[in-house]
Structure 1
Amino acid sequence: MYKNIKGFSLPETLIAFSCVLMIASIFIPFLIHYASQLKRLQYEVEALKFLEEGVEKAIVSDVYVNHSRMYGGVRYELNWKDGGNEEACVQYHERGTGLNEVCISKGE
Structure 2
Amino acid sequence: MNIKKLLWSHGEQLRQIQPWPYLNDALAKFQADKLLKIQRGLDETEIILLMLCIIGIMHLQHKTIDSVLAWGKRLDSLVEKSSDLSAASQRKHHTTTLGRPTDVLQAG
Length-normalised TM-score, structure 2: 0.41
Higher relative contact order (CA 8 A, sep 6+): 1
Task: From the two aligned structures, give the one with the greater strand fraction.
Answer: 1
Report the TM-score when normalising by structure 1.
0.41
